[in-house]
Amino acid sequence: MSDQSQPIVKPQPIVEVEDLWVWLRKRGREIPLVRGLSYTLRPAEALSIVGESGAGKSIGVRAALGLLDPRLFRVTGSSKLVGTDVLALTAKERARYVPSVAALVFQDPGRSLNPTMRVGDQIAEAFLKGSGYEPGMTRAKAEARALQLMKDVRIAAAEERFKAYPNQLSGGMKQRVVIAIAVACKPQVLFCDEPTSSLDVTTQAAIMDLIGELRDQTGIATVTITHDLALAASRARKVIVMYGGQVVEALPARLVATESAMPYTTALIEAVPDIDGNGTPPTPIEGMPPDPANLPSGCSFHPRCRFAQDDCLTNTPELRVVAPAHELRCFHPVKDLELQEASR
Ligand SMILES: Nc1ncnc2c1ncn2[C@@H]1O[C@H](COP(=O)(O)OP(=O)(O)OP(=O)(O)O)[C@@H](O)[C@H]1O
Ligand SMILES: [Mg+2]
């Protein structure tokens, strides 16, 4: 046997979103909602997209899955899911292809479930009619798989709950059922749009743990949208911070607490209780997120930025690489400012 070590081959990306722009068509105008979003995800990778309301997180994900109505929105760029650019497909091709590779879980599990159908049957449907279908599938086999999946997503007393209707389950249980249906379709990537924000804090953590377990067991990649930077940093591998439709900072999750350099990211950190563990009370970010129809000049964050200088009002910062896997859209990163202050 050769003693030369094998070169490390990175697995092919499952998601490659490249320069994604979304415009809302409104009274003859086009309003930019997402501006140049790019990210790549490989098997078993976890990405979190964070930002305040209106940042373009949901629209960005829906655009990447080809789910936006072309009469209302114009989308440019590319979104390759398992190597196929879904934006280059026809609507019919997309409707067949996307569910075979990707699943989307929403905030409100009640909305995703059929209130008139037992939850076990809803999971079994994914094996009978959905992308979870395999040749030779029978109702009995599908039901057995559905029951096993309910156990896999840690639904206690699964046999009993198999026969329950959605309104007989708690919010956390319903979200587990939704995740079971998503996983039954054997996606390679699971997009979760605020999967836990309708749930209490303990259930939120349990659902995020479940998504993590599924990722470890199946190699599925996950993209999770959240307002909660602390949750994002603790559960993801990479964090993207969006503001005004743009990525303003992207960095490895483990560096969020110590290396964040965009004043918006550090403001988000200060806005959540005790992410840095030093006991400081949360400080809300003053002001409002920008209106996409009326974006500020220069850096979109400058009207709310404590560190804004003259150039931030007139010049538009580009996203630039500042360290390995760390990108930043800012002329005056917090680290530089701290160093300047320290040297005074
Ligand atoms: N169907 C729609 N028609 C018109 N504008 C829309 C539509 N959906 C979203 N927008 C606008 O697009 C922008 C981005 O919205 P998006 O829903 O992506 O925000 P978000 O970051 O997901 O916020 P939240 O955290 O509140 O879910 C917002 O200004 C929003 O008003
Ligand atoms: Mg949203």
What pLDDT does 193 receive?
Answer: 92
User: Residue 1 is encoded by which pair of tokens?
Assistant: 């046997």
Measured from the Cβ of residue 80, the count of other Cβ atoms closer than 10 Å reads 19
| Residues 326/254, Cβ–Cβ less than 8 Å | no
C-beta 57 within 6 A of ligand 1: yes
Distance (angstroms) between ligand 1 centre and the Cα of 253 equals: 25
Please name the residue whose Cα sits nearest to atom 17 of ligand 1. 58
Q: Which CATH superfamily is domain 15-116+187-343 in?
A: P-loop containing nucleotide triphosphate hydrolases (3.40.50.300)
Q: How far is CA 314 from CA 297, 303, 319, in A?
A: 6, 12, 16
Q: How far is CA 40 from CA 74, 145, 221, in A?
A: 22, 32, 11
Please name the residue whose Cα sits nearest to atom 31 of ligand 1. 54
Per-residue tens of pLDDT for the chain, all 344 residues: 445 566 677 789 999 999 999 999 999 999 999 999 999 999 999 999 999 999 999 999 999 999 999 999 999 999 999 999 999 999 999 999 999 999 999 888 888 899 999 999 999 999 998 777 788 889 999 999 999 999 988 899 999 999 999 999 998 999 999 999 998 888 999 999 988 877 787 888 888 888 898 899 889 999 999 888 888 888 899 999 999 999 999 999 999 989 999 999 999 988 876 655 566 677 788 899 999 999 999 999 999 999 999 999 999 999 999 999 999 999 999 876 666 666 66
75 closest CA partner among 102, 94, 100: 94
d(CA 29, CA 77): 20
CA-CA-CA-CA torsion for 283, 287, 290, 294, nearest 10 degrees?
-170
What pLDDT does 341 receive?
Answer: 64
> Domain extents for the chain?
15-116+187-343
Distance (angstroms) between ligand 1 centre and the Cα of 192 equals: 16
What is the pTM for the complete model shown? 0.91
d(CA 109, CA 128): 21
d(CA 29, CA 238): 35
C-beta 55 within 6 A of ligand 1: yes
Task: Tell me how far the alpha carbon of residue 140 is from its chain's centroid.
Answer: 35
What pLDDT does 338 receive?
Answer: 67
Length of the chain: 344
Please name the residue whose Cα sits nearest to atom 6 of ligand 1. 24
- DSSP alpha helices (H): ranges in the chain? 57-64, 91-101, 109-112, 119-128, 139-152, 158-162, 171-184, 201-218, 229-235, 256-259, 263-271, 310-314, 334-343
